[in-house]
C-alpha cells in the first residue's frame, strides 16, 4: 500500500474541505488508511499515523484505537530496532526520527496522565542515549519531576535524572540542588508505615530506594556539600534496614556502594566496610559474592579496613562456588603485603594446586607478581607452569636470581620438573635458564632444603638437548636451551660435547637458533679466552617494571612504590648483560698485558670493538660476537654500559690507601674498594698528583698484571696533572683476581713536563693484603 501521508499533508487537505461533510469524509478515508497501516504492523509509519490521529482527536473525532498504538509507539524501540540491523547509513535516519519523536516525548512528559508520563520519561532516557544532544530539550520538563506522588513516575524520573547526570557534567551540577529533595523522599520511604501498594517484605518500594541511592551516589561524588547532606540518611538506611531478606540486603548493598563513592565521613566508611564484613559471613552465597565484589572496589582506598577481614576472604577461597572463588582470589592478591605474605602465599599456593584450570593462569601470574613485590619464591609453582603468562617468565627469572640462597634448591626442583614434563613452555624456559645458570650447583648436589639428587653432567646435557629436538618446544624455548647449554661450557667439564651440539645448530633452519649457534661457535674458536668471563654468573638484576595483571595486584596499601622506573629488558640473551658487568673484555692470556685507557682516542685496531660493543648496550639485542683478541683501548660504549651499573657499592671498609709511585714530583696513590656483587673484583682508583711547578701534560698511565689476573682500565679524568698539587688525575682500575693471588702490578708512566717527554716504569708490590684477599 502507498506510504501514509504526512501530518502536514493531512492538515492541508482537511483545510481545503469546504463543508463539514467533506471534512468528515476525508477523515474517514484517512482513518481507514491508518487502520490498515496499523494492521500491517508496519512500524515505519507508526509515528506519522499516531501524529495524524492525535490531530484528528484534537479536531474532535474519536480516535481511541490510536491510543493503543500511541502507547505501543512510545513503548517500542522502533526507532532503533531493525534500523541498526540495516547498517550505519540508517544512523542518520534514527537520529532524525529521534528528533522528531523527542518533541512528542517532551510533550507527553507534561501530560496529566501519569501512565503516559512514566513511559515518556523512559522514552526520554533512550532518546538521550541515542542522541545525547537532545538532552537540553527535556530539561524544562524535569523541573517538577521529583514532586510526583506517583511512584511509577517518580521512579522513571529518577532514572531520567540519573541518565542526564551521567552523561553531562553540566546537568550534574545543575541537578545537585535536588539532593535535599531526594533525601526527603528517601526518608519518607523509610519512615512511612506499611503501604500495601509498594511493599516488598516489609520494605516500602525498594526499587525506588535503590534508584534514589544510586542517583545520590552520582550527585555526591567529589562534592563535599552534597555528600554532607546525605550523610545522615545514609547512616539511617545503613542501620535501620532489615537484613533478613534479600530485599533489605539489596538496599544495603547500594547504600554501601554510595557511601564508598562519595566524600563521606570516616565513621560512615567504617560502617560500610563493616556491613560488607557482615555480608561476608552471611550464609547466602549471593550476598557473599556481592560483598567480595564491593571489597575489591574499595580495597584501593580503604586498604586497612579491608585487611581486617582478610581471614574471612581467604576462607572464601575454599568455597565451592566458582564465582566466589574467583572474586576471593582477586581480592586476596590485592591484600598481600609485607606482613602477611607468608601466610597468604601458603593459602594461595594451596589454592593454586587445587583449583580448576580456568583459574590457574591468573592465579599463577598473581602469585609471581605478589612474590616479586616481596621476596623469596619458596615453592616454584610447577603445576601451573604452563598456564603462566609469557611476561611472567622474565619476572620469575629475575626473582630467582635475586634469591641467591635458593639457587640450588630452585634449580634442583626445576630440573626434576623438566624430567617429568617438557610441554609447559614458560616452565621449561625458566627451568632451562636456571640450569644454564646454576648447572654447577645441580651436579655438585649441594642443596639444603631438599634431598640432593645425583645428577651427572651428561644427564643434564641430555635433558637440554632433548628440549632442543623436542616437537613440544617452542622456538623461544629452543633458544633458551641452546643458550643454557652454552653457559654450561664454563661450568661443566664436558666441553667437547657442548661444542658439538653448538656446531650442529650452526646450520639450523631456525634463524634465531642458527645465529646463536654461530656466535657461540665463534666464542669457542676465536675468542675462547673470553668465554669464561662472558658466561659468568649473572648478577642480581635491577627491578623490572611490573607488567602483570593490574586488576589483580594493586598497590597493597603501602607507600612503597616498587622502583618501576627504567624498564630493564629481560636479560635472557646472556652475553649482552654479561658485558654490562663484565670485568674484563680485553683480558688476555699473554703476559704481561699492557692496558691503556685513553680518554678520547678511539680504538685503532679495535674498529670491530667499537661496533660490537656499541651493540652491547642495555638494549638486549641479539648478541654480536665478542671483541677481538688483541686488547687495545676501551671504548666509550663500554664505558657507558659500565657506568650505568653501580660500580662502587660499598667502600671496602678499612683497606688503607697506598702510595704506588713517588718520583720526580709525580705521586700516584692507590685507593681500594671492593666491588659488589663479585668479591673477586678489586677496584682501585689511582690519584696522580704533581708537586712540581709546571703542569704535566699528555699524562698517560698504563698498568700490567701477571697472567692469573685480569685488568681493566677506565678512562682517566684528564691527562693533565696540574702543578703544585692543585688537583689530581684520577683513573679507575678493575682487577679480577679469581685465584686470590697476591696482587702485583707493573706501571708505566708517560708525560710531558716543561716540553720534555718523560717516561718511567715501576713495579708496585706493596699492595695491602686486604685488597686482593
Partner 1 sequence: MMRFLLLFSRQGKLRLQKWFLPMTEREKKKIIRDMTTMVLARKPRTCNFLHWRDLKIVYKRYASLYFCCGLEDQDNELLALEVLHRYVELLDKYFGSVCELDIIFNFEKAYFILDEFLMGGEIQETSKQSIAKSIEASDMLQETMEEYMSKPAF
Which of 6, 12, 82, 663 lies at the binding interface for partner 1 (CB under 8 A)?
82
Identity of the residue, 177 or 285, whose beta carbon is nearer to partner 1 in the bound complex: 285
Which of 57, 187, 198, 263 lies at the binding interface for partner 1 (CB under 8 A)?
198
Task: Tell me if 749 contacts partner 1 by CB under 8 A.
Answer: no
Identity of the residue, 287 or 306, whose beta carbon is nearer to partner 1 in the bound complex: 287
Which of 3, 32, 139, 564 lies at the binding interface for partner 1 (CB under 8 A)?
32
From the CB of 80, what's the least distance to partner 1, in Å? 5
Query: Binding string to partner 1 for residues 37 to 76, with x set by CB under 8 A, is what?
Result: --x----------------------x-xx-xx--x---x-
- Interaction residues for partner 1, span 236-265 (CB under 8 A): 246-247, 249-250, 253-254
Measuring CA to CA, which residue among 406, 393, 398 is closest to residue 577? 398
CA atoms within 13 A on the CB side of 736: 19
Task: Tell me if 318 contacts partner 1 by CB under 8 A.
Answer: no
Task: Tell me if 156 contacts partner 1 by CB under 8 A.
Answer: yes
CA atoms within 13 A on the CB side of 380: 30
Task: Tell me if 288 contacts partner 1 by CB under 8 A.
Answer: yes
Q: Are strands 710-713 and 728-736 parallel, antiparallel or unpaired?
A: antiparallel
Contacts of 376 (CB under 8 A, 6+ apart): 403, 406
From the CB of 71, what's the least distance to partner 1, in Å? 8
Identity of the residue, 33 or 598, whose beta carbon is nearer to partner 1 in the bound complex: 33
Task: Tell me if 322 contacts partner 1 by CB under 8 A.
Answer: yes
Task: Tell me if 281 contacts partner 1 by CB under 8 A.
Answer: no
Q: How far apart are CA 343 and CA 323, in angstroms?
A: 23
Burial class (CB in 10 A: 0-12, 13-18, 19+), 99: middle
How many residues bind to partner 1 according to rule CB under 8 A? Answer: 57
Burial class (CB in 10 A: 0-12, 13-18, 19+), 587: buried
Task: Tell me if 4 contacts partner 1 by CB under 8 A.
Answer: no
Contacts of 596 (CB under 8 A, 6+ apart): 632, 633, 700, 702, 713
Query: Binding string to partner 1 for residues 157 to 176, with x set by CB under 8 A, is what?
Result: --x-----------------
Identity of the residue, 208 or 299, whose beta carbon is nearer to partner 1 in the bound complex: 208
From the CB of 286, what's the least distance to partner 1, in Å? 5
Task: Tell me if 115 contacts partner 1 by CB under 8 A.
Answer: yes
Which of 52, 155, 516, 734 lies at the binding interface for partner 1 (CB under 8 A)?
155
Task: Tell me if 772 contacts partner 1 by CB under 8 A.
Answer: no
Q: Is the peptide bond before 689 cis (omega within 30 degrees of 0)?
A: no
Q: What pairs with residue 731 in β-bridges? A: 686
Distances (CA, A) of 518 to 53, 197, 482, 593: 87, 85, 11, 29
From the CB of 189, what's the least distance to partner 1, in Å? 11
Cα angle for residues 306, 309, 315 (degrees, 5° grid): 130
337 three-class SS: coil
Contacts of 523 (CB under 8 A, 6+ apart): 486, 530, 531, 534, 625, 626
Burial class (CB in 10 A: 0-12, 13-18, 19+), 639: middle
Identity of the residue, 161 or 486, whose beta carbon is nearer to partner 1 in the bound complex: 161
Identity of the residue, 116 or 616, whose beta carbon is nearer to partner 1 in the bound complex: 116
Identity of the residue, 68 or 404, whose beta carbon is nearer to partner 1 in the bound complex: 68
Burial class (CB in 10 A: 0-12, 13-18, 19+), 209: buried
Binding site for partner 1 (CB under 8 A): 28, 31-32, 35, 39, 62, 64-65, 67-68, 71, 75, 77, 80-85, 115, 118-119, 122-123, 125-126, 151-152, 155-156, 159, 197-198, 200, 205-208, 210, 214, 246-247, 249-250, 253-254, 285-290, 320-324
Amino acid at each position: 500500500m502507498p506510504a501514509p501521508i504526512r501530518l502536514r499533508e493531512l492538515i492541508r487537505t482537511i483545510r481545503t474541505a469546504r463543508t463539514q461533510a467533506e471534512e468528515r469524509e476525508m477523515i474517514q478515508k484517512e482513518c481507514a488508511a491508518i487502520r490498515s497501516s496499523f494492521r500491517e504492523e508496519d512500524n515505519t509509519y507508526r509515528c506519522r499515523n499516531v501524529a495524524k490521529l492525535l490531530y484528528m482527536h484534537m479536531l474532535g473525532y474519536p480516535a481511541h484505537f490510536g491510543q493503543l498504538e500511541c502507547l505501543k509507539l512510545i513503548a517500542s524501540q522502533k526507532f532503533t530496532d531493525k534500523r541498526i540491523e540495516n547498517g550505519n547509513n540508517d544512523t542518520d535516519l534514527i537520529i532524525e526520527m529521534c528528533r522528531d519523536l523527542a518533541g512528542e516525548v517532551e510533550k507527553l512528559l507534561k501530560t496529566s496522565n501519569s501512565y503516559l508520563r512514566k513511559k515518556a520519561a523512559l522514552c526520554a532516557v533512550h532518546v538521550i542515549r541515542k542522541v545525547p544532544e537532545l538532552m537540553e530539550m527535556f530539561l524544562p520538563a524535569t523541573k517538577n519531576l521529583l514532586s510526583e506522588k506517583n511512584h511509577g513516575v517518580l521512579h522513571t524520573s529518577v532514572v531520567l535524572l540519573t541518565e542526564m547526570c551521567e552523561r553531562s557534567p553540566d546537568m550534574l551540577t545543575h541537578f545537585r540542588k535536588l539532593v535535599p529533595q531526594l533525601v526527603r523522599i528517601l526518608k519518607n520511604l523509610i519512615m512511612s508505615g506499611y503501604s500495601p501498594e509498594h511493599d516488598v517484605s516489609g520494605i516500602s518500594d525498594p526499587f525506588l530506594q535503590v534508584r534514589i541511592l544510586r542517583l545520590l551516589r552520582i550527585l555526591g561524588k567529589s562534592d563535599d556539600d552534597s555528600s554532607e547532606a546525605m550523610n545522615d540518611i545514609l547512616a539511617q538506611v545503613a542501620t535501620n534496614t532489615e537484613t533478613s531478606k534479600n530485599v533489605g540486603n539489596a538496599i544495603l548493598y547500594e547504600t554501601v556502594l554510595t557511601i564508598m563513592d562519595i566524600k563521606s565521613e570516616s565513621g560512615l566508611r567504617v560502617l560500610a566496610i563493616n556491613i560488607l564484613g557482615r555480608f561476608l559471613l552471611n550464609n547466602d552465597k549471593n550476598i557473599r559474592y556481592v560483598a567480595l565484589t564491593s571489597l575489591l572496589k574499595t580495597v584501593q582506598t580503604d586498604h586497612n579496613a579491608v585487611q581486617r577481614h582478610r581471614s574471612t576472604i581467604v576462607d572464601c577461597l575454599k568455597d565451592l562456588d566458582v564465582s566466589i572463588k574467583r572474586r576471593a582470589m582477586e581480592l586476596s592478591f590485592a591484600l598481600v603485603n609485607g606482613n602477611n605474605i607468608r601466610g597468604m602465599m601458603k593459602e594461595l599456593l594451596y589454592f593454586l594446586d587445587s583449583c580448576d584450570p580456568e583459574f590457574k593462569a591468573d592465579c599463577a601470574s598473581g602469585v609471581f607478581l605478589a612474590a616479586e613485590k616481596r621476596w623469596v619464591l619458596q615453592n616454584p609453582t610447577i603445576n601451573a607452569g604452563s598456564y603462566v603468562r609469557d611476561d611472567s617468565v622474565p619476572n620469575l627469572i629475575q626473582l630467582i636470581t635475586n634469591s641467591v640462597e635458593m639457587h640450588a634448591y630452585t634449580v634442583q626442583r626445576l630440573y626434576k620438573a623438566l624430567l617429568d614434563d617438557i610441554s609447559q613452555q614458560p616452565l621449561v624456559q625458566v627451568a632451562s635458564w636456571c640450569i644454564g645458570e646454576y648447572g654447577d650447583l645441580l651436579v655438585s648436589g649441594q642443596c639444603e632444603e631438599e634431598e640432593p639428587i645425583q645428577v651427572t653432567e651428561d644427564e643434564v646435557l641430555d635433558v637440554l638437548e632433548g628440549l632442543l629436538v623436542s616437537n613440544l618446544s617452542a622456538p623461544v624455548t629452543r633458544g633458551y636451551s641452546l643458550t643454557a647449554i652454552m653457559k654450561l661450557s664454563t661450568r661443566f667439564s664436558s666441553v667437547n660435547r657442548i661444542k658439538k651440539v653448538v656446531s650442529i645448530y650452526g646450520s639450523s633452519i631456525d634463524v634465531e637458533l642458527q645465529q646463536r649457534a654461530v656466535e657461540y661457535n665463534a666464542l669457542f674458536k676465536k675468542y675462547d679466552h673470553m668465554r669464561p668471563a662472558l658466561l659468568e654468573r649473572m648478577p642480581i638484576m635491577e627491578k623490572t617494571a611490573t607488567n602483570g595483571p593490574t586488576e589483580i595486584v594493586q598497590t597493597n596499601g603501602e607507600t612503597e612504590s616498587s622502583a618501576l622506573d627504567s624498564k630493564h629488558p629481560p636479560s635472557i640473551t646472556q652475553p649482552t648483560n654479561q658485558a654490562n658487568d663484565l670485568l674484563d673484555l680485553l683480558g688476555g692470556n699473554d703476559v704481561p698485558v699492557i692496558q691503556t685507557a685513553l680518554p678520547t682516542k678511539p680504538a685503532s685496531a679495535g674498529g670491530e670493538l667499537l661496533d660490537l660493543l656499541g651493540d652491547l648496550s642495555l638494549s638486549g639485542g641479539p648478541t654480536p660476537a665478542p671483541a677481538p683478541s688483541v686488547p687495545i683501548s676501551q671504548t666509550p660504549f663500554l664505558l657507558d654500559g659500565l657506568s650505568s651499573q653501580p660500580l662502587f657499592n660499598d667502600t671496602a671498609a678499612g683497606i688503607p690507601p697506598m702510595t704506588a709511585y713517588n718520583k720526580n714530583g709525580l705521586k700516584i696513590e692507590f685507593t681500594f674498594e671492593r666491588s659488589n656483587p663479585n668479591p673477586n673484583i678489586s677496584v682501585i682508583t689511582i690519584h696522580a698528583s704533581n708537586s712540581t711547578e709546571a703542569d704535566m701534560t699528555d699524562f698517560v698511565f698504563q698498568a700490567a698484571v701477571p697472567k692469573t689476573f685480569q685488568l681493566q682500565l677506565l678512562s682517566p679524568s684528564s691527562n693533565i696533572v696540574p702543578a703544585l698539587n692543585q688537583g689530581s688525575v684520577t683513573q679507575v682500575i678493575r682487577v679480577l683476581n679469581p685465584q686470590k693471588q697476591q696482587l702485583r702490578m707493573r706501571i708505566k708512566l708517560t708525560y710531558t713536563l716543561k716540553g720534555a717527554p718523560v717516561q718511567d716504569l715501576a713495579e708496585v708490590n706493596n699492595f695491602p693484603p686486604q685488597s686482593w684477599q
